[in-house]
């Protein structure tokens, strides 16, 4: 029986976690990561429920989590996840882990024809338990320490019901003859890999107001979008945090771009002008000249 959770921040706690996790035939795995504020998603927390406890591992700590490698790779330890594709991708990217023997409750429920696949919906349907998975908590600052009590509760609940949910779904998959389909689907999750973002020059066409621009303005917008992408990559900041789509649109609509206009137009804040003004002016001037 699970006896609560443990924040793993010392060698002795790591030893406890290693022993419990390595001896558990079934573990439940989840992560918290920030893909909203960063260009490349940042792994912020690893949650693993074992037989005795749920363990919370901090990727920002200096502790060595390599012992999880053999656990995730073991065909003898079942890893239960919910919509685990991105969790697997990020854990592979950051630690080089290999995964075998996964059961994904999201994929399983989809195979069974469930229309509502969110974890709280499935827990309510199959286990009769109601709990509130607040979307606002999902986008909270998981990269900031210490985590709040609300965040810790949210993180622990992500794995708290997975084992019981797995048993219900697995039984139904057996009864409906979908075992082979499920195994192929779960194997697909184990084999996913991380792919870096790439610049799509057609993406700027989705910016609201693009169709009303002149051909020269569209060309300038494309250059600004490419610059923003490169800047986001360099700084690992989300593109909207560099400049918003509407800011880019406002820049290309300047009839005679100049430093004075850039500073006083209100399109960019003082901080943005100071940080990016020189690079932006170079792009705007080059676009006018060509």
How confident is the model over 88-113, as pLDDT tens digits? 999 999 999 999 999 999 999 999 99
Q: How many CB atoms lie within 10 A of CB 81?
A: 26
Helices (H), the chain: 11-23, 68-73, 85-95, 105-111, 119-127, 135-138, 149-160, 162-175, 179-190, 215-235, 239-242, 245-252, 259-264, 270-289
Q: Per-residue pLDDT for 43 more than 80?
A: yes
Instruction: Give dist(CA 88, CA 43) in Å, integer.
Output: 11
Of the two residues 139 and 220, the one the predictor is more confident about is: 220
Q: What is the total count of domains within the chain?
A: 2
Given 146, 169, 190, the domain boundary residue is 190
Query: Are 175 and 38 contained in the same domain?
Result: yes
Tell me the whole-structure pTM to 2 decimals.
0.92
Last residue in a domain, options 164, 190, 216: 190
Residues 136, 271 within the same domain: no
Whether residue 1 has pLDDT greater than 50: no
CB-facing half-sphere around the CA of 43: CA atoms within 13 A = 22
| Average pLDDT along the chain | 95
Count of CB atoms within 10 A of residue 250's CB? 16
In the predicted structure, residue 124 carries a pLDDT above the cut 50: yes
Residue 2 reports pLDDT greater than 70: no
Angle, nearest 10°, between helix axes 179-190 and 162-175?
A: 140
Q: Is residue 78 part of a domain?
A: yes
- Residue whose C-alpha is closest to residue 78's, from 162, 181, 178, 171: 162
């Amino acid at each position: 029986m699970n006896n609560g959770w443990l924040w793993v921040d010392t060698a002795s706690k790591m030893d406890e976690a290693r022993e419990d996790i390595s001896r558990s035939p079934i573990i439940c795995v989840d992560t918290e990561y920030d893909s909203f504020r960063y260009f490349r998603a940042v792994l912020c927390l690893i949650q693993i429920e074992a037989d005795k406890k749920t363990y919370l591992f901090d990727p920002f700590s200096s502790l060595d989590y390599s012992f999880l490698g053999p656990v995730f790779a073991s065909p003898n330890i079942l890893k239960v996840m919910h919509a685990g594709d991105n969790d697997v991708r990020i854990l592979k990217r950051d630690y080089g882990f290999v995964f075998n023997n996964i059961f994904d409750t999201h994929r399983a429920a989809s195979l069974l024809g469930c229309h509502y696949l969110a974890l709280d919906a499935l827990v309510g349907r199959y286990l009769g338990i109601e709990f509130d998975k607040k979307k606002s908590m999902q986008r909270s600052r998981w990269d900031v320490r210490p985590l709040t009590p609300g965040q810790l509760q949210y993180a622990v609940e992500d794995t708290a019901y997975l084992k019981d949910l797995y048993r219900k779904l697995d039984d139904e998959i057996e009864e409906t003859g979908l075992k082979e389909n499920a195994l192929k689907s779960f194997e697909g999750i184990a084999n996913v890999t991380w792919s870096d973002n790439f610049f799509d020059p057609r993406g700027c066409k989705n910016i609201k107001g693009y169709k009303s621009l002149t051909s020269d303005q569209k060309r300038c917008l494309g250059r600004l979008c490419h610059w923003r992408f490169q800047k986001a990559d360099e700084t690992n900041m989300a593109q909207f945090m560099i400049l918003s789509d509407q800011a880019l649109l406002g820049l290309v609509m300047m009839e005679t771009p100049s430093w004075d206009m850039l500073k006083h137009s209100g399109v960019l804040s003082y901080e943005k002008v100071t940080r990016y003004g020189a690079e932006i002016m170079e792009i705007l001037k080059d676009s006018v000249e060509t």
